[in-house]
Structure 1
Amino acid sequence: MKDVRKILLPLPSTSNAEAALIRGYNFARRFHAHLAVLHIRSDGRDIAPLAGEGLSGAMVEELMRSAEHESARTAHDVHHLFVRFVAEHKDIEVVPPHSPFPADKASISFCTLTGNPAEIIPYHARLSDFTLVPHPQSGEEVSSSETLHSVLFDSGRPVVIAPQTPTTGLIKRVCIAWNGTAEASSALRAALAWAVGADAVRVLYCDDYQRKGPDVADVIDYLSFHDIRADTVTFAPVNKDVGKGLLAACKDFDADMLVMGAYSHSRLRQLILGGVTRHVLEHADITVLMSR
């Protein structure tokens, strides 16, 4: 995926949205790509089935009005943030949704739809080169983020998680976590867009992380076909935690981005027992690209 042309950025709220907009703006400028910002409003009518759960019709109507009011307020706040952002970044062209966008410069659009985010967002992600998502507020929220997981599991495309802290610089130092799995292979392919122009690329591997599949030497060969020079480093778990060891290795490299496969084990297993994916989602403070 060297040629990035369309980036989807779903914004469920204003939480960490500005940091994600800045990251998306940088990506759009770097790739001369289009950044499609999408907000999904919840449908208050989805509450109607609660009438069969012991609530009176009047109570359900009140809940629907409350949900609609909250949805309208959130939509207004997200759109206001978008308008303010593009007013401050005049070097990116604002275009209407679904219209042709300029091929030689960065562009941005904003669209609001109503419905189920877990369905609508993956549909749009399937026709985007990758989806950029804001970093949720807390560790608990990260591991249960429906936007993140709906894209990972239902779009067939990679997802990039923006850091919580706004980052203005370009991606220059890329770490690729390799364990031989199909998920890691998909992430590696997506990483080419950044690795090609990076100052330094490092492939990280660990015996406790490795699964059946190609070894790290094969990854170096693959990258060389794309004129990417990379080194390899073995990292060790920290306090028997592979995820901690992986993030420590990224810090040692001063990485701007971590690339990795997601959920080689089942998501349920990782939510219950922990896992590398879960630890990275909850503790990474750099841009993370995941694929499944």
Structure 2
Amino acid sequence: MAIRKILLPLAGVASARAALGTALMLGARWRAHVHALHVRTDTRDVAPLAGEGLSGAMIEEMMATTEKEGNTEARALSALFDAETAAHGIAVGAPVRDASGAVGQASAWFSSIVGREEELIASEARLSDLIVVPHPKSAEEVASADALHAVLFDSGRPALIAPVEPAEMIGSRIAIAWNGTAESASAVASVLPWLSGAQQVRIFHSNDYQRQGPAADQLASYLELHGIAADITEFRAIDRSAGAGLLAAVTEFGADLLAMGAYSHSRLRQLILGGVTRHVLEHARLAVLMNR
């Protein structure tokens, strides 16, 4: 299935540049419509967080400050959006269709709305083919990670974590992290549209990573049915970290896109004990396509 709609949640300028460049590059590649979405905090949600002991005037001042900061951020993001779309030659507006009604070229639109970020992003993501999110480490903004988790846990759609720095190409050398789980199978389904155009595809597996389910050679046979030739590499954990071993092997391969399942174990377990998903989120520099 071709990618026709890309959602790009934007929290702040510090984390937006690489993600916006990534989304627009992919929009041009797929002739897709990119919706850049900024969610401003609803000032009515600020009052309950203020706690007791604050006067009405103090709460009103906090609400006014929150609204002002949100509007300032929205203007800055809109200016960045205008500059980046112009630089990429992307039409701004509704999807552009040819005489037959088919989408003929890439387009993009920026909107800034008020609401609860996680709820709105998850809702918008459900009718998007791909959600590009800023890398959680690209800024100190917690919202980048919140957007990612909203997509992974409440949309049923794939999340593409943008690289920390803008990339010239994504999808020429594709790595697939395989451990036999439903999450990794979902990642394979999402990356299928990319594989036919890749120069090389490699499946990465490890005894330290494998769960109950099909083995890597079975995945390779499945991809052959789709006309995709993929080789197989076994990686080893580094200092008992399967995530570190995976990233080292993927880096050596020279991948510009890693497709993998997310949170095969619970998110709470990964926060406490660590895990492959957590390690990749904290240390990956390349684009990562994640599914849950």
User: Structure 1 residues 142, 228: CA separation in 2 closer, same or farther (over 3 Å shift)?
Assistant: farther
Contact 2:256 2:286 in 1 (8 A): yes
User: Structure 1 residues 143, 101: CA separation in 2 closer, same or farther (over 3 Å shift)?
Assistant: closer
Give the aligned length.
287
Which position in structure 1 is the counterpart of 2:233? 233
Q: Which moved more, 1:41-50 or 1:26-35?
A: 41-50
Note the C-alpha offset of 1:141: 6.2
Match for 2:215: what amino acid?
A: D
Note the C-alpha offset of 1:51: 6.0
Q: How do residues 13-24 of structure 1 correspond to structure 2 at under 5 angstroms?
A: 13-24=12-23
SS at match of 2:212: coil
Q: Which moved more, 1:143-152 or 1:125-134?
A: 143-152
| Residue 89 (structure 2) pairs with residue 94 (structure 1) | no
Contact 2:134 2:144 in 1 (8 A): no
Deviation per CA, 1:177-197: give whole Å up to 9, x if none: 000100000001001121111
Note the C-alpha offset of 1:131: 0.3
Give the Cα–Cα distance (whole angstroms) in 2 for the partners of residues 246 and 252 of structure 1. 10
User: Structure 1 residues 143, 11: CA separation in 2 closer, same or farther (over 3 Å shift)?
Assistant: closer
Give the Cα–Cα distance (whole angstroms) in 1 for the partners of residues 187 and 166 of structure 2. 23
Match for 2:92: what amino acid?
A: V
Which position in structure 2 is the counterpart of 1:41? 40
Give the Cα–Cα distance (whole angstroms) in 2 for the partners of residues 89 and 140 of structure 1. 27
Contact 1:159 1:289 in 2 (8 A): yes
Give the Cα–Cα distance (whole angstroms) in 2 for the partners of residues 211 and 119 of structure 1. 32
Deviation per CA, 1:2-22: give whole Å up to 9, x if none: 311111011111123111111
Deviation per CA, 1:92-137: give whole Å up to 9, x if none: 2111xxx443312111111111100100001000000010001133
SS at match of 2:105: coil
Note the C-alpha offset of 1:173: 0.2
Contact 1:139 1:282 in 2 (8 A): no
RMSD of the TM alignment (CA)?
A: 1.7
| Residue 266 (structure 2) pairs with residue 271 (structure 1) | no
Which position in structure 2 is the counterpart of 1:132? 132
Q: How do residues 1-292 of structure 1 correspond to structure 2 at under 5 angstroms?
A: 2-50=1-49, 53-90=52-89, 92-95=90-93, 99-102=94-97, 103-137=103-137, 145-292=145-292
Q: Which moved more, 1:103-112 or 1:256-265?
A: 103-112
Give the Cα–Cα distance (whole angstroms) in 2 for the partners of residues 186 and 140 of structure 1. 30
SS at match of 1:16: helix
Structure 2: which 5+ runs fail to align? 98-102
TM-score with structure 2 setting the length: 0.94
User: Structure 1 residues 110, 138: CA separation in 2 closer, same or farther (over 3 Å shift)?
Assistant: closer
Contact 1:143 1:271 in 2 (8 A): no
Give the Cα–Cα distance (whole angstroms) in 2 for the partners of residues 53 and 160 of structure 1. 41
Give the Cα–Cα distance (whole angstroms) in 2 for the partners of residues 73 and 159 of structure 1. 27
Deviation per CA, 1:126-163: give whole Å up to 9, x if none: 00001000113369867981110010000000100001
Give the Cα–Cα distance (whole angstroms) in 2 for the partners of residues 181 and 33 of structure 1. 30
Contact 2:14 2:138 in 1 (8 A): no
Contact 2:11 2:143 in 1 (8 A): no
Give the Cα–Cα distance (whole angstroms) in 2 for the partners of residues 142 and 224 of structure 1. 41
Note the C-alpha offset of 1:65: 1.0
Q: Which moved more, 1:257-266 or 1:164-173?
A: 164-173
TM-score with structure 1 setting the length: 0.94
Contact 1:270 1:278 in 2 (8 A): yes
Contact 2:136 2:282 in 1 (8 A): no
User: Structure 1 residues 78, 141: CA separation in 2 closer, same or farther (over 3 Å shift)?
Assistant: closer
User: Structure 1 residues 141, 149: CA separation in 2 closer, same or farther (over 3 Å shift)?
Assistant: same
